[in-house]
């Protein structure tokens, strides 16, 4: 595991972009495609800032959602809606490169359908993402895997529905831990004072929180944070 502390949000977004560029170019050289999972929340801001400057063949990217809210695309809560509004057009990525959840169905149906969609790109018992870009919530959740929730133990399916998410909106779909830990690399990226306490609990106290269950078998796990978020971490 590597913990990288950058001076500010700008440097953090540049570092994140550099790691994404390397992962993308390696994947494209290896299998002519880059399969990346993205999260919602504040990560999008970092990606908008960083991705513009990277040199890679964006047309080879297929972008999946680590989790997605079961709402219409034009709802302000839709993660795809946010990427469509804020990222498409600013970097050479088109809408159809995103693997979207099925619209107008329950979380259960959307989760099953998402597995079918993923199965068009991955073989094997678990999908092997080239990279997962993860966020951490203030309670230590990642994707839509929340502390104390039974989904933390789900090891039977690639994508699970959740209808009682403590972070609104309640209905979502999320990849499960076996999928996360089968990824070739995982990156947590975050900034700001608001993340500092939880980062201490996670990385210093090593509490049993969902984010601490992210242990990719590949061993490639990065935490990239700014000085404010990392203020309790040793240099």
Ligand X SMILES: O=C(O)[C@H](O)[C@@H](O)[C@H](O)[C@H](O)COP(=O)(O)O
- Give the interface with ligand X as residue ranges (CB under 6 A): 39-43, 67, 69, 79, 135-137, 142-144, 167
| Token duo for residue 77 | 């809560």
127 vs 135, beta carbon nearer ligand X: 135
Question: In whole angstroms, how close is the CB of 189 to ligand X at the nearest point?
Answer: 9
Please give the Cα distance from 113 to 230 (Å, whole number). 38
Question: In whole angstroms, how close is the CB of 31 to ligand X at the nearest point?
Answer: 26
Which secondary-structure segment (H or E) carries 29? helix 9-31
Please give the Cα distance from 195 to 191 (Å, whole number). 7
Question: In whole angstroms, how close is the CB of 188 to ligand X at the nearest point?
Answer: 9
| Count of beta carbons in the 10 Å neighbourhood of residue 84 | 16
43 vs 87, beta carbon nearer ligand X: 43
Question: In whole angstroms, how close is the CB of 144 to ligand X at the nearest point?
Answer: 6
| Token duo for residue 156 | 């039977």
One DSSP character per residue, 117-162 reads HHTTT--SSS---SEEEE---TTS-BTTB-TT-GGGG--S-SEEEE
36 vs 43, beta carbon nearer ligand X: 43
42 vs 117, beta carbon nearer ligand X: 42
56 vs 214, beta carbon nearer ligand X: 214
Helix runs in 62-219, H state only: 79-86, 107-118, 177-180, 196-199
């Amino acid at each position: 595991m590597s913990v990288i502390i950058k001076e500010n949000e700008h440097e953090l977004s540049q570092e994140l972009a550099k790691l994404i560029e390397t992962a993308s170019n390696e994947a494209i050289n290896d299998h002519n495609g880059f399969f990346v999972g993205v999260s919602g929340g504040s990560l999008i801001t970092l990606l908008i800032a960083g991705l513009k400057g990277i040199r890679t063949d964006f047309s080879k990217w297929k972008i999946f959602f680590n989790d997605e809210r079961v709402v219409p695309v034009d709802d302000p809560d839709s993660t795809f809606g946010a990427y469509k509004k804020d990222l498409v057009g600013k970097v050479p990525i088109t809408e159809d490169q995103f693997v979207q959840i099925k619209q107008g169905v329950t979380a259960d149906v959307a989760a099953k359908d998402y597995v079918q969609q993923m199965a068009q790109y991955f073989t094997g018992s678990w999908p092997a993402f080239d990279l997962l870009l993860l966020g951490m919530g203030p309670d230590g959740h990642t994707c839509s895997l929340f502390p104390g929730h039974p989904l933390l133990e789900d090891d039977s399916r690639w994508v699970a529905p959740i209808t009682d998410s403590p972070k609104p909106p309640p209905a979502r779909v999320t990849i499960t831990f076996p999928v996360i830990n089968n990824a070739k690399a995982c990156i947590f990226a975050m900034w700001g004072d608001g993340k500092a306490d939880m980062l201490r609990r996670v990385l210093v106290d090593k509490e049993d929180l969902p984010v601490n269950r992210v242990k990719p078998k590949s061993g490639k796990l990065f935490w990239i944070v700014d000085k404010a978020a990392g203020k309790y971490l040793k240099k």
